Amino acid sequence: MQGGVDVKGARNDDGVLSLTIRTDGVTSAEVFRAILLHGNDEIQLLIEALDEEVPPARSTLLTGGWAAMRCVREARAAVLPNVSVSTRAQDTAYGATLFAARLLDARLPIQ
C-alpha cells in the first residue's frame, strides 16, 4: 500500500533502521521495497556529495549477495549510472586481495 511504510536511518549513524507501518495489510514485499527506495534516497545524497569533489561516475559495479536479486538491481539502476553486476561470488575479497598485492608490489596494476 503506497505510503503505508515510513523508513528512516539508512545512514546507520546509530545502528538503527526505523520502520513505521502506517496501515494494516502491508506485505513484506512492500516493506522491502520501501527500504530499497530509502536506500536509494541516501545513495543519491552520497552521489551528490561525491560529484562536488570528483568528476561524476560513468558506471557502477554492483556486488554482493543482494545484487543477485532483480528488485535490488532495478532499484539501484534508478540512481546509479550504467549499472553492471559482478560475476564474482566474493568481489570484496577479490578487490581486497588485489589492493594488498598492489601495496606489496607497486609494479602491479590495480584492476
Query: What stretch of H or E contains 84?
Result: strand 83-85
Whether residues 103 and 78 fall in one domain: yes
Q: Report residue 33 as a C-alpha cell.
A: 521495497
Residue 40 pLDDT greater than 70, yes or no: yes
In this structure, are 51 and 66 located in the same domain?
no
Picking from 44, 42, 48, 50, the residue whose alpha carbon sits closest to that of residue 12 is: 42
Share of the chain above pLDDT 90, in %: 54
Q: Which domain holds residue 49?
A: 1-56
Our count of domains for the chain comes to: 2
Is there a single domain that holds both residue 34 and residue 51? Answer: yes
31 and 68, same domain (yes or no): no
| 65 and 35 inside one domain | no
Domain check: are 25 and 5 in the same one?
Answer: yes
Mean pLDDT of 41-62: 93
pLDDT confidence of residue 100: 83
**pLDDT of 1 over the 60 cut:** no
Please tell me whether residues 61 and 37 are part of one structural domain. Answer: no
Q: Which of 14, 41, 56 is the last residue of a domain?
A: 56
Pair 28, 12 in one domain: yes
> Does the pTM exceed 0.85?
no
Q: Across residues 32-56, what is the average pLDDT?
A: 94
Residue pair 81/47 in contact (Cβ under 8 Å)? The answer is: no
Q: Are 7 and 26 in a shared domain?
A: yes
| Mean of pLDDT over the chain | 87
Mean pLDDT, rounded, for 25-53: 93
Per-residue pLDDT of 58-101, as tens digits, reads 999 888 888 889 999 999 999 999 999 988 877 778 778 877 88
74, 30: one domain: no
